Chains A and B, each alone.
Chain A
């Protein structure tokens, strides 16, 4: 792909539609107090710990993690690896350590893509750098939490993940906001490099607040025989959220899989999708989304592009409208530019079928219990290859949120 085309794709990834309205960046504060580095997790305030744990970050001594990165507002408060061959540090530190990292920075997301990427490039930032050396298979997931403590802060981060040839890594990352804070802006630039034969399983859980504006901007490149799985869970209230990661399968037999589980409460506006370009022979992609509205608006996008023969992609989008209001707009898009591509999609949006509720009632469940069982099932996405502890974290987050949804 030419550089010009790459820029165009980056721009698409950044902002497919202006549906969410404009945000005045000047209305957020850019400065936050410094938070001290904590070697010991027990020094982290209990309220903050609880919020972090709700998004899958384990802070107990027995944490089975290959490493941890914690950022509070603009301060890195913990950054440590537990395994040789797994590197974790802030992106600015990594830039100092590795001069070659400039070849990776702003290469998959353009700083010129939109006002948020410009904001992220114009202002000082932190964010994590995670790298797994060639052939290293991380024993446990690496975890990170990007935490917003200051009311009204614009938090911008730049994350870079490099999984070198033949390496394997699971990442669980949670983004959360402090209990007494309900307003802010989070701009997260993420660039993922999955090298030849490598595997990355990236799970992200977002727990925001009713006045939060969230704008992740993500680019992923997947080389030959590499596998990338992205799981995105956003079940708590948020004001606006717009994310549209773009993955390029550039090497033979590269695979990408995106799973999202979304809940929009009243007043929330989520514009969430993924874009996968199948650029090499034998590449495969799957995009699966489950969206529930209890009064908010969800745009669920998916775009698959088959650009060479012998590629395969499937897109599945299902939306459930609970309650009297709320909107779900599913936009599945398939693009084939040559013969021999195999792309398909299925999309369904609606209420829970009365017939399904009655089916459970005929087995003795009350109406409420029947609805609860169906919703729980709807939200559970089977994710192939997900480590059991991460599946349990997702289930835990889903269960917590389900109680609120119903």
Chain B
């Protein structure tokens, strides 16, 4: 589904990522751990194609196509979606409009109110996008948009940050719906999930994990093993780890 080859990314004059390579297979969920400032969000932004994140080496392939130089909207149209950690407030534009935009050609055939009901977002549907939303509401709003968009490859930037215990269960369920995690043989949706705390893994099962440290992939392995190591030793332990 996604192949990232020797990717290097800079923001302004600062080199943030250096020589990052990994793949995500069809139906697979890869979780990306790492300390704050380690380059996790930069990686997602670069994969989505935001111009501020300049790719100065390496290539990105999506379903076999080189998308390294494609603009954001064309990547989205090809099936890549993103959950923003801190999406912008768009004054005047209602969440309903945003969901309609995500639905594209399917806007007439999908019941937005029903989607909002499932997402516990009914009351927010006719409010301005992200204006005055709580942490949990932002995540549910983002996930509702992604569910409407149905991307084959979803990148989730800290879906568990700022979400209280009441909300995390629903957020987990929405992610599982989005990623077709209740399917095994017929699952086609893939994802890359960023988490700093790993909290979301109590609700969403990931297939593989990587740790991103100092702008590069530090290690790869089983999500629970890596998480328990991080929990006991912290990211400082990761940095010192040579195993």
Asked if A377 contacts B77 (CB within 8 A), the reply is no
CB pair A363 B93 closer than 8 Å:
no
B73 partner residues in chain A, CB cutoff 8 A: 361-362, 364-367, 370
B42 close to A (CB within 8 Å): no
Within 8 A of A (CB), among B47-95: 48, 50, 71-73, 76-77, 81-82, 84, 87-88, 90-94
Whether a CB of chain A sits under 8 angstroms from the CB of B117 is no
Give the one of A360, A369, A379 with max B CB within 10 A: A360
Distance between B93 CB and nearest chain A CB, rounded to angstroms: 3
B102 close to A (CB within 8 Å): yes
Query: Cβ of B101 and Cβ of A363 under 8 Å apart?
Result: yes
Which one, A88-96, A209-217, A293-301, A350-358, is touching chain B? A350-358
CB of A363 within 8 A of CB of B102, answer yes
Interchain CB contact under 8 A, B88 and A353 = yes
The CA-CA distance from A363 to B102 in the complex, in Å, is 5
Do the beta carbons of A378 and B91 come within 8 Å of each other? yes
A348-392 residues at the B interface, CB under 8 angstroms: 353, 355-356, 358-367, 369-370, 373-374, 376-380
**Chain A residues within 8 Å of B48, by CB:** 362
- A377 and B94 within 8 A (CB): yes
B135-159 Cβ-contact flags toward A at 8 Å (1 or 0): 0000000000100010000000000
The reply to whether A380 and B72 form a contact with Cβ atoms under 8 Å apart is no
- Best-buried of B73, B81, B88 by chain A (most CB within 10 Å): B73
A134 and B167 alpha carbons, distance in the complex (Å): 53
Residue in A361, A363, A373, A376 whose beta carbon sits within 8 Å of that of B71 in the complex: A361
B92 touches A364 (CB 8 A): no
The listed residue (A290, A364, A373) touching B97 by CB distance below 8 A is A373
Task: With both chains docked as a complex, state the minimum distance between the C-beta of A3 and any C-beta of chain B, in angstroms.
Answer: 43
Q: A358-B72, A373-B97 are in contact. Are A379 and B92 (CB under 8 A)?
A: yes
A359 to B146 CA separation, bound complex (whole angstroms): 12
Number of interface residues of B (CB under 8 A): 25
**Which B83-128 residues have C-beta < 8 A from chain A?**
84, 87-88, 90-94, 97-98, 101-102, 104, 128
A19 to B212, CA, bound (A): 59
Pick from A318, A359, A380 the residue with the most CB of B within 10 Å: A359
Most chain A CB neighbours (cut-off 10 Å) among B72, B81, B128, B145 = B72
Q: Please give the distance in Å from B127's CB to the nearest CB on chain A.
A: 10
- With contacts A359-B84, A373-B97 taken as known, whether A364 is within 8 angstroms of B102 at the C-beta atoms is yes
Q: Which residues on B sit within 8 Å (CB–CB) of A290? A: 92
Chain A minimum-CB-distance residue to B71: A361
* One of A353, A358, A363, A380 near B98 (C-beta < 8 A): A363
Q: Considering only CB atoms, which chain A residue lies closest to B90 in the complex?
A: A356
| Contact B50 A358, beta carbon cutoff 8 Å | yes
Q: A358-B50, A373-B97, A377-B97 are in contact. Are A363 and B92 (CB under 8 A)?
A: no
Q: How far is the CA of A378 from the CA of B128 in the complex (A)?
A: 10
Distance (whole angstroms) from the CB of B72 to the closest CB of chain A? 4
A-B contact pairs, 8 of them (CB 8 A): A356-B90, A359-B87, A361-B71, A361-B72, A362-B48, A374-B93, A377-B91, A377-B93
What 4 new A-B contacts, CB under 8 Å, besides A374-B93, A379-B92? A362-B72, A364-B102, A364-B104, A367-B73
3 nearest A-B pairs in the assembled complex, by CB-CB distance: A377-B93, A377-B92, A364-B76
